[in-house]
């Protein structure tokens, strides 16, 4: 059902079992995965549709980011940022979860990737994807003439196709669900905590600027990588520096991927090219070339994916000069008048003829792929979310976000590209062309992936949430979303966000069961 926030305020003695703050992929996944026996308050700052006034609450101060970065990289409505999601899915690599002792701010995830595998499979099922882990689909060696190459792997992505818009797909289900109360236009301001640390209620403000409190036994904060930190920083009742911020970790280690578009080209020799094409077809989308984990560990490299672009592949024998030459030869013979653009776009004959011509001159089917580079995002304590002195229309302090890329990342990127070049050339697989300067900050601009601001570590001096994504110092406040990522790899984060949301739901359901349920009524 849909309710106004003020309706909940009248029932402080009848808390919900669970209050989920945010209705994006993380929040909705938790809501749908919890047992129907639990009463759930699902709190969304926006409505069912995009509203410019609501979106403005994301605005804040930025350093090293475009001025409109904060308000253009999130969607503040029911369904959240699934509305600006590209649907690209890929689990993190095992290597991504490891601590890199040569990277100062690096910490390991509190668990290995095997912990995530069942949740990744649940996410795959939810999104209509194949399992990433059946039959070794996770990654493949690049092959040439049937032999595996050394040091290079192909890393497939899958697409949620059509991209799952959570707000569209699950709206009716969640509105009809008897155990779920949906609060729209309820702007979360802060958590109210008891002296012992547990959260008692969420303070919200509605469109009419009316303040309310939503009480619950458990809370799940799922408002995105920046807003999660913002709400905790604004929750100063238990600790003046913010909830979970006893050790000044909250808001730090903000990470964003910095994809490099038009990064270069790779020309692959004959059989690797065909291998690549087949895999691109199989994945219906993106496939990345990457160094294998052993090399990355040995050489102390960050992860890097070179995303080969399907559809921009060019067979070299289809060059204009050869087409022209062939056309000229055929015209001399009085045939081939249908060649080229004048044939209504049906160029199959041209392709076959040119292919035969090319082969007759000794050329194979080597192919040119453009690629964009996906460097791993790295944690830096100075890249952080803090509170601005300015407030939004609801009286909540806005954020200030600082983000800089580092020279270490640039050097690391260069080194990785050099090793990829050497392995391509050294095994007669192909050649690479780099068309950007890794040291140029303008080449590496933060994208819409916000990660790391409430990172996960069992030691509260090093993280904001524990391995179960519970905020340190509390027992009933979970954080869902990429803000808990200690590291980010190069994979798009939404798939891991959804997997972690399933994991949180499992944990929360167990906790709620062990303590007994109490339906809101």
Partner 1 sequence: MDKWPRLDRRQFLALVSALGLALGAGGVATGVLVISDGNPLLPGFRLDPDALRHVAERYLADHPVEKSAEFLERELLAAVAASGAGKSLVDAIAIAVRRDFAAGNTVVLDGWILSRTEVRLWVLQALNQG
Residues 6 or more apart whose Cβ sits within 8 Å of residue 104: none
The end-to-end CA distance of the chain, in Å, is 13
Nearer to partner 1, 200 or 322 (CB): 322
Q: Report how far residue 250's alpha carbon sits from residue 384's, in angstroms, rounded to the nearest whole number.
A: 9
Q: Give me the residues that bind partner 1 (CB under 8 A), please.
A: 264-265, 267, 269-270, 314, 316-317, 319-322, 325, 357-359, 361-366, 368, 417-418, 421-435
Q: What is the widest separation between alpha-carbon atoms in the chain?
A: 93
Which residues have C-beta within 8 Å of that of residue 278, sequence separation ≥ 6? none
Which among 114, 73, 74, 107 has a CA at the least distance from the CA of 92?
114
Nearer to partner 1 among residue 149 and residue 383 (C-beta): 149
Q: Which is nearer to partner 1, 363 or 388 (CB)?
A: 363
Joined together, the tokens standing for residue 352 give: 């076959």
Taking the complex as a whole, how short is the minimal distance between the CB of residue 320 and partner 1, in angstroms? 7
The helix or strand, by DSSP H or E, that contains position 32, with its residue range, turns out to be: helix 25-33
In the complex with partner 1, the residue whose CB is nearer, 312 or 519, is 312
List of residues 6+ apart from 136 with CB closer than 8 A: none
The least distance separating partner 1 from the CB of residue 420, rounded to whole angstroms, comes to: 9
Shortest separation between residue 463's beta carbon and partner 1, angstroms: 39
Asked whether 156 and 286 are in contact (CB, 8 A), the reply is yes
Nearer to partner 1 among residue 42 and residue 434 (C-beta): 434
CB of 297 to partner 1, least distance (A): 19
Closest CA to 198 of 13, 508, 475, 478: 475
Q: Which two structure tokens, joined as six digits, stand for 397?
A: 């302090």
What are residue 423's phi and psi, to 5 degrees? -75, -30
Distance CA 390, CA 511 (A): 39
Q: Using CA atoms, how far apart are residues 110 and 330, in angstroms rounded to an integer?
A: 67
Among residues 112 and 418, whose Cβ is nearest to partner 1?
Answer: 418
CA angle 397–400–405, rounded 5-degree value? 160
Q: Cα separation of 402 and 422, whole Å?
A: 36
CB of 273 to partner 1, least distance (A): 8
For residue 314, the minimal CB distance to partner 1 (Å) is: 7
Of 353 and 446, which has the nearer Cβ to partner 1?
353
Supply the minimum distance, in Å, between the C-beta of residue 434 and partner 1. Answer: 5
SS3 state at 318:
helix
3-state secondary structure of 52: helix
Q: Cβ 383 to partner 1, closest distance in Å? A: 30
Q: Nearest distance from residue 170's CB to partner 1, in Å? A: 46
Task: Tell me how far, at minimum, the Cβ of 428 lies from partner 1, in Å.
Answer: 4
Task: Give the integer Cα–Cα distance in Å for 55 and 226.
Answer: 14
**Which of 41/269 has CB closer to partner 1?**
269
Would you say 13 or 320 has its CB closer to partner 1? 320
Q: Which is nearer to partner 1, 133 or 357 (CB)?
A: 357
Q: Are 202 and 40 in contact (CB under 8 A)?
A: no
């Amino acid at each position: 059902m849909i309710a106004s926030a003020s309706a909940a305020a009248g029932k402080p003695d009848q808390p919900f079992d669970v209050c989920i703050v945010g209705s994006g992929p993380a929040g909705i996944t938790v809501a749908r995965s919890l047992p129907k026996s639990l009463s759930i308050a699902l709190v969304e700052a926006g409505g069912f549709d995009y509203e410019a006034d609501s979106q403005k609450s994301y605005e804040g101060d930025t350093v090293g980011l475009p001025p409109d970065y904060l308000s253009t990289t999130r969607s503040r409505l029911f369904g959240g940022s699934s509305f600006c999601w590209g649907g690209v899915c890929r689990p993190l690599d095992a290597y991504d979860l490891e601590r890199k002792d040569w990277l100062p701010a690096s910490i390991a995830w509190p668990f290995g990737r095997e912990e995530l595998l069942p949740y990744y499979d649940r996410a795959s099922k939810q999104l209509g994807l194949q399992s990433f882990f059946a039959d070794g689909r996770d990654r493949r060696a690049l092959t040439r003439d049937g032999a595996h190459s050394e040091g290079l792997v192909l890393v497939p992505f899958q697409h949620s196709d059509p991209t799952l818009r959570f707000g569209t797909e699950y709206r009716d289900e969640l509105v009809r669900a008897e155990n779920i109360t949906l609060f729209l236009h309820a702007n979360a301001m802060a958590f109210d905590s008891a002296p012992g640390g547990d959260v008692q209620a969420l303070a919200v403000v509605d469109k009419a600027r009316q303040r309310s409190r939503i009480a619950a036994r458990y809370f799940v904060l799922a408002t995105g990588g920046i807003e999660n930190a913002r709400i905790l920083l604004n929750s100063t009742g238990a600790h003046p520096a913010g909830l979970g911020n006893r050790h000044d970790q909250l808001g730090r280690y903000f990470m964003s991927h910095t994809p490099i578009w038009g990064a270069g080209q790779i020309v692959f020799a004959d059989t690797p090219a065909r291998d690549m094409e087949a895999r691109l077809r199989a994945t219906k989308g993106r496939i990345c070339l990457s160094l294998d984990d052993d090399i990355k560990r040995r050489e102390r490299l960050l992860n890097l994916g070179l995303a080969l672009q399907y559809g921009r592949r060019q067979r070299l024998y289809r060059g204009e000069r050869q087409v022209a030459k062939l056309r000229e030869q055929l015209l001399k013979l009085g045939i081939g008048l249908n060649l080229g653009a004048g044939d209504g776009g049906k160029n199959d004959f041209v392709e076959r003829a040119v292919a035969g011509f090319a082969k007759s001159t000794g050329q194979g089917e080597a192919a040119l792929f453009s690629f964009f580079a996906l460097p791993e995002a790295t944690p830096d304590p100075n890249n952080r979310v803090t509170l601005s002195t300015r407030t939004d229309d609801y009286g909540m302090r806005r954020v200030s976000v600082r983000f800089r890329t580092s020279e270490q990342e640039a050097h690391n990127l260069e080194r990785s590209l050099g090793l990829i070049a050497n392995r391509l050339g050294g095994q007669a697989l192909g050649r690479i062309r780099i068309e950007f300067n890794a040291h140029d900050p303008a080449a590496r601009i933060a994208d819409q992936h916000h990660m790391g601001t409430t990172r996960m570590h069992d030691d509260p001096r090093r993280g904001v949430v524990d391995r179960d994504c519970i905020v340190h110092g509390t027992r009933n406040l979970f954080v869902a979303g990429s803000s808990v990522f200690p590291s980010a790899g190069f994979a798009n984060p939404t798939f891991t966000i959804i997997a972690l949301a399933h994991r949180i739901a499992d944990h929360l359901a167990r906790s709620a069961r062990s303590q007994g349920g109490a339906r809101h009524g």
